[in-house]
C-alpha cells in the first residue's frame, strides 16, 4: 500500500498532517484556506465551513499517483474525499479474475457510506488510482463518531448515498451484458470526466483489468474506435479525438459519467429540509 502525505498545496509536498493543534493566527488562516480548497470535493463543499475545518484538523491529505493502490482488498478502510483524480475499486474473484465496482472522483467519496456500520472496518476491493490527484483522508473511528453527532454530515452523506445507489443500479448489468467496445468507451469517458485533458494515460492492460476481460479484447475495441477516428493510440496513451462520438459509442452507463460531470459542475449536493 502506498500513501504519500502532502500539504494542502499539491505543488509543494509536505509531510505534516493537520492533526496537529492550531497554535497561531497564521495556522488558523492556513486551516481556513485548506477548508476552502477542500470544497473541490462536492461532499465536503456541501458542509459548513465550520464542520469542514473541524474535519480537516483530523485529516491527512495524500497525493494520488497513477497506479497507486491506496487500499487493499480485505485490508483496513479509511474514508477518502478526492479533491482531484479518480479512484477505482476493483475486486478479485475466487477464480482470480477482476472486476471494477466503483469509479469515484471529486464528486464523490469512498467508504463514506459503508463504514457507518460498526461491523464494517475491512472489506471491499483494491482501491487504485486511475487518474492522479489529491485526496483528503479520514480514519474510520473519527469519521464514524462525527457521523453519529453531526446531522449536517449525515444529511450530506445520505444525499451522496442516493447518487451512489443510482450509479450502481444503472451499471449493474454492465459487466455481464454490455459489449466490450461500449464498456471501453464508457471507461474512457469516465477518465475524461476526472481529468482536464483529452490525452489519457492508460494502458490496454489496465483497461482489461478494470473491465475484467482479456487484453486482446481491449486492443480490438480500441482498434475499432481508432479506425473510426474517435481516438488515437500512442504507447501508454489514448487521445480522444471526438468526444461526442466516444459518448455515442459508450454503453448506457455513460449516464453515470454525465451525472458525475453534472455534480462536479453543481459543486455541492442539494437537499431540502
Ligand atoms: Zn455499461
Give pLDDT, residue 232. 97
159-168 per-position pLDDT tens digit: 999 989 999 8
pLDDT at 9 over 60: no
Assigned architecture for domain 179-251: Orthogonal Bundle (1.10)
pLDDT band (50, 70, 90) for residue 13:
very low
pLDDT at 116 over 50: yes
Which residues in the chain are classed under CATH 1.10.10.10?
179-251
Q: How far is the CA of 106 from the centre of ligand 1 (A)?
A: 21
- The Cβ of residue 247 has, within 10 Å, a number of other Cβ atoms equal to 17
Pick the CATH number of 4-172 from 3.90.650.10, 2.60.120.10, 3.90.110.10, 2.60.130.10: 2.60.120.10
Q: How far is the CA of 213 from the centre of ligand 1 (A)?
A: 13
Give pLDDT, residue 149. 93
Please count the CA atoms within 13 angstroms of the CA of 64 that sit on its side-chain side: 27
Q: Using only the alpha carbons of the chain, give its radius of gyration.
A: 19
Q: How far is the CA of 120 from the centre of ligand 1 (A)?
A: 28
Long-range contacts of 246-249 (CB under 8 A, 24+ apart): 246/185, 246/188, 246/189, 246/192, 247/185, 247/189, 249/181, 249/182, 249/185, 249/225
Give pLDDT, residue 195. 92
Region 15-24: what's the mean pLDDT?
50
Give pLDDT, residue 7. 47
Q: How far is the CA of 182 from the centre of ligand 1 (A)?
A: 7
Which residues in the chain are classed under CATH 2.60.120.10?
4-172
Give pLDDT, residue 77. 87
pLDDT at 10 over 50: no
Q: Which residues contact 197 (CB under 8 A, 6 or more apart)?
A: none
Kind plus residue range of the DSSP H or E element containing 257: helix 254-266
pTM, entire model = 0.87
> What is the side-by-side strand order in the sheet with 60-64?
4-6, 60-64, 133-139, 78-82
Q: Which range is least confidently modeled, 39-43, 163-167, 199-203, 255-259?
A: 163-167
Q: How far is the CA of 186 from the centre of ligand 1 (A)?
A: 7
Q: Which residues contact 50 (CB under 8 A, 6 or more apart)?
A: none
pLDDT band (50, 70, 90) for residue 119:
low
Q: How far is the CA of 99 from the centre of ligand 1 (A)?
A: 13
182-225 per-position pLDDT tens digit: 999 999 999 999 998 999 999 999 999 999 999 999 999 999 99
Helix/strand/coil for 211: helix
pLDDT band (50, 70, 90) for residue 79:
very high
Q: Which range is least confidently modeled, 80-94, 110-124, 142-156?
A: 110-124
Q: Over pLDDT 90: what percentage of the chain? A: 67
Q: How far is the CA of 84 from the centre of ligand 1 (A)?
A: 24
**Mean pLDDT over all residues of the chain?**
87
Amino acid at each position: 500500500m502506498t500513501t504519500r502525505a502532502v500539504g494542502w498545496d499539491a505543488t509543494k509536498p509536505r509531510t505534516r498532517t493537520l492533526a496537529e493543534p492550531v497554535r497561531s493566527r497564521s495556522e488558523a488562516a492556513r486551516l481556513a484556506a485548506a477548508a476552502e480548497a477542500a470544497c473541490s470535493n462536492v461532499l465536503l463543499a456541501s458542509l459548513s465551513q465550520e464542520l469542514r475545518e473541524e474535519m480537516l484538523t483530523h485529516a491527512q491529505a495524500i497525493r494520488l499517483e497513477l497506479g497507486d493502490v491506496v487500499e487493499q482488498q480485505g485490508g483496513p478502510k479509511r474514508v477518502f474525499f478526492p479533491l482531484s483524480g479518480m479512484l477505482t475499486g476493483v475486486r478479485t474473484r475466487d477464480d482470480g479474475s477482476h472486476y471494477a465496482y466503483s469509479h469515484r472522483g471529486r464528486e464523490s467519496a469512498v467508504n463514506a457510506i459503508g463504514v457507518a456500520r460498526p461491523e464494517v472496518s475491512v472489506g471491499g476491493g483494491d482501491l487504485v488510482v486511475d487518474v492522479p490527484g489529491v485526496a483528503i483522508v479520514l480514519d474510520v473511528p473519527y469519521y464514524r463518531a462525527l457521523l453519529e453527532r453531526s446531522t449536517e454530515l449525515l444529511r450530506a452523506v445520505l444525499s451522496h448515498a442516493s447518487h451512489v445507489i443510482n450509479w450502481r443500479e444503472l451499471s449493474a448489468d454492465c459487466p455481464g451484458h454490455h459489449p466490450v467496445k461500449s464498456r471501453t468507451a464508457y471507461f474512457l469517458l469516465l477518465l475524461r470526466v476526472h481529468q482536464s485533458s483529452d490525452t489519457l494515460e492508460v494502458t490496454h492492460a489496465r483497461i482489461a483489468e478494470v473491465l475484467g476481460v482479456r487484453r486482446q479484447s481491449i486492443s480490438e475495441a480500441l482498434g475499432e474506435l481508432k479506425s473510426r477516428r474517435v481516438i488515437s493510440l500512442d504507447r501508454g496513451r489514448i487521445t480522444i479525438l471526438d468526444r461526442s462520438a466516444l459518448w455515442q459509442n459508450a454503453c448506457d452507463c455513460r449516464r453515470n459519467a454525465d451525472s458525475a460531470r453534472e455534480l462536479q459542475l453543481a459543486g455541492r449536493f442539494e437537499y431540502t429540509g
